[in-house]
Structure 1
Amino acid sequence: MTTLMTVLGIVVFVLGLLFSIAWHELGHLTWAKVFGIRVPQYMVGFGPTIWSRKKGETEYGVKAVPLGGYIRMIGMFPPGPDGRIAARSTSPWRSMIEDAREQSFEEVKPGDETRLFYTRRPWQRIIIMFFGPFMNLILAVALFLVVLMGFGISTATPTISTVAKCVAPVGSTEDRTGACTAKSQVTPAAQAGVRPGDTVVSFNGDPISSYAQLQSDIRDSAKKTVTIVVRRGGQDVTLPPVKIVENKVAKLDSNGDPTDQTVSAGFLGITPVSEIRTLGLTASFNRMGDMTVNGFKSIVALPSKIPALWGAAFEGQKRSADSPVGVVGVARVGGDVFAMHAPASARIATMLSLLAGLNLSLFLLNMLPLLPLDGGHIAGALWEWLRRSVAKLTRRPDPGPFDVAKLMPVAYVVAGVFLCFTVLVMIADVVNPVRLG
């Protein structure tokens, strides 16, 4: 049964991925047609075509490898200075440029002269290229709102689930097993008499309304003597003063979630009760804002994670929880989601969160101002807009369209780097995957 649910989870994720890709390309396609550009192809996936059907002037289809998609617009790049494709050169860089230029014109037919992509105004080209990633952002927001406002998320509360018996650095044997030795130091919580089921209502005079607040107060109180008030059996009980110890604990990210890094901070020795709680609209957007910031930081930090990723893939090193994960890895996590022992609502919510995070990542990644990403074409259109605006203000001749084809050597380098990184992540996902906790 577990195997069946794992396979079902992978299938559901792949279908969600295909829909996300199709949704992205629909954003490009819609606005390309609005602005009168001829689009010969709309394809989901790469490689051999599995299914296709021509409707009007566009062929719609699905290809074998679900790792992306594309729409083919005619005239993506302007012709050479002489109005045609330049002759071949012995320079490999020049060949790359002219190959790209030739490909963008190979499907141009008589009467298409006014339907070429490069002939559209810069703001129109920006809209066409932006709406692909923007569709992913729309889908991410919709899915996150369903999860946060409909299903809810696990939220730690100031109510105590368990009380640790001894102080142990995070990740240590004592921490993992809960076993204490004769030399172990008793936790402040145990010394003060905190019990499972108690709800902390005051910590050293500070009224407690959330576990995040309590956790912050505890961490800031290392080596201080504090007084704790708990609600027990419907009554407030003031516990004996106790000294908070300093211990090695997990470092928290901006959402308050633990990371693989550690810091020295105050330690009480309690585990909170977690409840599923829905968020309001404002709180949901605030949380999504934090996710977007963290997602951007993760993309910026990708180069710094390559050594650890290499170690996890080829040297048997431990794969960190925040390690980059590719399509194979996320699909495996999708399988784990459906196979985990949890209510159906929790599994559905987790899968929706997974797909929402994927779409948010697609938006952020595609907005990078690098060819062949959508952000690279947007940057080219913005530069052309700026050049033409400056020329108009200074009464200089119109410089004409910016030749994005000249950046194709850079695009090939970027594509090569992305390909190598994708292969590295795929190998790590196969031999040393990130598993769902």
Structure 2
Amino acid sequence: MTVLFYALGVLLMVLGIGASIALHEIGHLVPAKAFGVRCSQYMVGFGKTLWSRRVGETEYGLKAIPLGGYVRMLGMFPPKAERHMDAAARSGRLTAMIDEARNESLAEIGPGEQHRAFYRLPTWQKITVMLGGPVMNLVIATVIFAFFIPLYGATTFVDGARVSTVSECVRPVSSDPAAQAAPCTAADRPSPAATAGLQPGDEFVSIAGQPVTSPADVGALVRTRADQPVPVEVLRDGRRVEVTLTPIANEVPQVDGRGRPVLDASGRAVMTTAGFIGTSTERPTQRYDSLADVPAFVWSLTERTGRVVITLPQRLVDVWNAAFGPAERDVEGPMSVVGVGRVAGEVASLDQVEDGRGGQIQVTWVDKAAQLWVMIAGLNIALFVFNLIPLLPLDGGHVAGALWEGLKRGFARVFDRPDPGYVDVARALPLTYAVSLVLIGMSLLLIYADLVKPIRL
């Protein structure tokens, strides 16, 4: 039965992703048609066509590989500008490839259809068409959370570091666990945190004058200051409290630049001697419970997703190190559709979860359905943010081209210069193909990592 539920969870997630992609493309299709652009195809998926039907001038269909979709619009590439003619005659294979793609696009424009070409749209209409897809994903996520948050509430992490526990005395972290947990005695040295009066629930504001934005900052600022008095400012019950503590040199796990333990080839933590104050820290959380909280929650989730996208190169390096080494996967790192499906299967097949006090809580079908809906909403936030990257073939690349075109034309009008014409996005095709190869490589790496070392939520 567990296997059946697992498969059902995967199937439901596949359907949710497919529906999100289909609605994303609707977000492009509707404004394009409204602005008069002829759309010959609306397809969900890539590869071989499994089913299609023509309605009016548009063919609607499903393809074999459900990893995306597209709307085929008339005249995506403008004619070649006169100033590029001579350069093209002296160029080689890349220009021939660009010209071939441009000519294929222009060949679709029939007699009397020039006014229905996408490239002829005003700048604001081009931006509206290309942003329609990502905005649709944002709307989907917002609608889901508008139902979910008033019923269940939601919690998200915020910047900062909160004290979760305070050690009363100092013992090497590598000592025997039983000895580590034993009550402190008069022979034990009090921890700097206990001596300074730090308490669970205190939120670090600054250490040694440096702001604290994450638990990793606490370790980074304390470890290098063994035996040095350090001013610390914390937030306690809404008021700021200043203390001074002196970190003690102690044996602690070595961490990387993001505050995660460094592991050796056997998977054990590498130990080092560094400053120690005797606290464990966690990220503070923000609670959302009402419909009025939905915009703030969606913004928070979008901002966190944006940070992941901005740091994607480093995160992919982390994924590589985890897939081919002893490092662990970051639970806030990127996942492939395989990883998402795997998590969905685990959610659907889960019967009980720990309650944090050593007991178990029964997981109902309502709980599972809610969690799957939240995952779909999170994926739509990811689609929204990722598609805003200003690189072709992503929607953000088309938006960037339209903005550049509008900027050039506005500059020409202000300074009474000739109209510079349309931005020839076809000339960016080599970059488009390069970005596509990078995206394919990224997808293959994430799929492999999700198979050999999946993220456990």
TM > 0.5 between the two?
yes
The reply on whether 1:363 has 2:384 as its aligned counterpart is yes
Aligned length in residues? 382
Deviations 1:228-263 (A, max 9, x none): xxxxxxxxxxxxxxx9x99979x9xxxxxx985699
Deviations 1:298-353 (A, max 9, x none): 11111012332223323454333233211111111111111113222321222112
Report if the CA contact (8 A) 2:167-2:278 is conserved.
no
The 1:351/1:35 distance shift into structure 2, 3 A limit, reads same
Structure 2: which amino acid aligns with 1:297? R
Cα distance in 1 between the residues matched to 2:297 and 2:452: 33
Report if the CA contact (8 A) 1:27-1:128 is conserved.
yes
Task: State the secondary structure of the residue aligned to 1:180.
Answer: helix
Which residue number in structure 1 is paired with residue 357 of structure 2? Answer: none
Alignment of structure 1 residues 381-396 onto 2, 5 Å: 381-396=402-417
Which residue number in structure 1 is paired with residue 100 of structure 2? Answer: 99
Which residue number in structure 1 is paired with residue 315 of structure 2? Answer: 305
The 1:21/1:166 distance shift into structure 2, 3 A limit, reads farther
Which residue number in structure 2 is paired with residue 159 of structure 1? Answer: none
The reply on whether 1:422 has 2:443 as its aligned counterpart is yes
The 1:374/1:215 distance shift into structure 2, 3 A limit, reads same
Which residue number in structure 1 is paired with residue 43 of structure 2? Answer: 43
The reply on whether 1:397 has 2:418 as its aligned counterpart is yes
| Displacement after TM superposition at 1:22 (Å) | 0.6
Cα distance in 1 between the residues matched to 2:55 and 2:377: 31
Deviates more, 1:338-347 or 1:68-77: 338-347
Task: State the secondary structure of the residue aligned to 2:60.
Answer: strand
The 1:265/1:181 distance shift into structure 2, 3 A limit, reads closer
Cα distance in 1 between the residues matched to 2:296 and 2:379: 19
Deviates more, 1:280-289 or 1:343-352: 280-289
Is there any run of 5+ residues in structure 1 with no aligned partner, and where? Answer: 157-161, 188-203, 225-242, 252-257
Cα distance in 2 between the residues matched to 1:182 and 1:97: 67
Report if the CA contact (8 A) 2:9-2:349 is conserved.
yes
Deviates more, 1:14-23 or 1:315-324: 315-324
Cα distance in 2 between the residues matched to 1:287 and 1:81: 47
What RMSD in Å do the two structures reach over aligned CA positions?
4.3
TM-score normalised according to structure 1 size: 0.75
The 1:12/1:113 distance shift into structure 2, 3 A limit, reads same
Deviations 1:378-400 (A, max 9, x none): 11111111111111111111111
| Displacement after TM superposition at 1:264 (Å) | 8.0
Structure 2: which amino acid aligns with 1:138? V
Which residue number in structure 2 is paired with residue 52 of structure 1? Answer: 52
Which residue number in structure 1 is paired with residue 179 of structure 2? Answer: 181
Report if the CA contact (8 A) 1:165-1:180 is conserved.
no
Deviations 1:156-175 (A, max 9, x none): 9xxxxx999998899x797x
Deviations 1:10-31 (A, max 9, x none): 0000000001001100010000
Task: State the secondary structure of the residue aligned to 2:67.
Answer: strand
The reply on whether 1:152 has 2:153 as its aligned counterpart is yes
Which residue number in structure 1 is paired with residue 18 of structure 2? Answer: 18
Structure 2: which amino acid aligns with 1:68? G
Deviations 1:266-311 (A, max 9, x none): 767999xx9xx86123433323222221111111111012332223
| Displacement after TM superposition at 1:416 (Å) | 1.2
Deviations 1:197-255 (A, max 9, x none): xxxxxxx899xxxx9xx25279999999xxxxxxxxxxxxxxxxxx9x99979x9xxxx
Deviates more, 1:143-152 or 1:386-395: 143-152
Structure 1: which amino acid aligns with 2:203? S
| Displacement after TM superposition at 1:144 (Å) | 2.3
The reply on whether 1:434 has 2:449 as its aligned counterpart is no
Is there any run of 5+ residues in structure 2 with no aligned partner, and where? Answer: 158-164, 186-196, 208-217, 223-229, 232-244, 263-273, 353-362
Structure 2: which amino acid aligns with 1:338? A
Identical-residue share of aligned pairs (%): 40
The 1:153/1:388 distance shift into structure 2, 3 A limit, reads closer
Task: State the secondary structure of the residue aligned to 1:114.
Answer: helix
Report if the CA contact (8 A) 1:260-1:320 is conserved.
no
The 1:185/1:6 distance shift into structure 2, 3 A limit, reads same
Report if the CA contact (8 A) 1:6-1:335 is conserved.
yes
Cα distance in 2 between the residues matched to 1:330 and 1:108: 41
Cα distance in 2 between the residues matched to 1:268 and 1:83: 66
Alignment of structure 1 residues 279-318 onto 2, 5 Å: 279-315=289-325, 317-318=327-328
| Displacement after TM superposition at 1:133 (Å) | 0.5
Report if the CA contact (8 A) 1:85-1:102 is conserved.
no
The 1:80/1:335 distance shift into structure 2, 3 A limit, reads same
Structure 2: which amino acid aligns with 1:121? P
The 1:281/1:265 distance shift into structure 2, 3 A limit, reads farther
Task: State the secondary structure of the residue aligned to 1:48.
Answer: strand
The 1:298/1:132 distance shift into structure 2, 3 A limit, reads same
Structure 2: which amino acid aligns with 1:327? V
The 1:59/1:322 distance shift into structure 2, 3 A limit, reads same
Cα distance in 2 between the residues matched to 1:317 and 1:269: 21
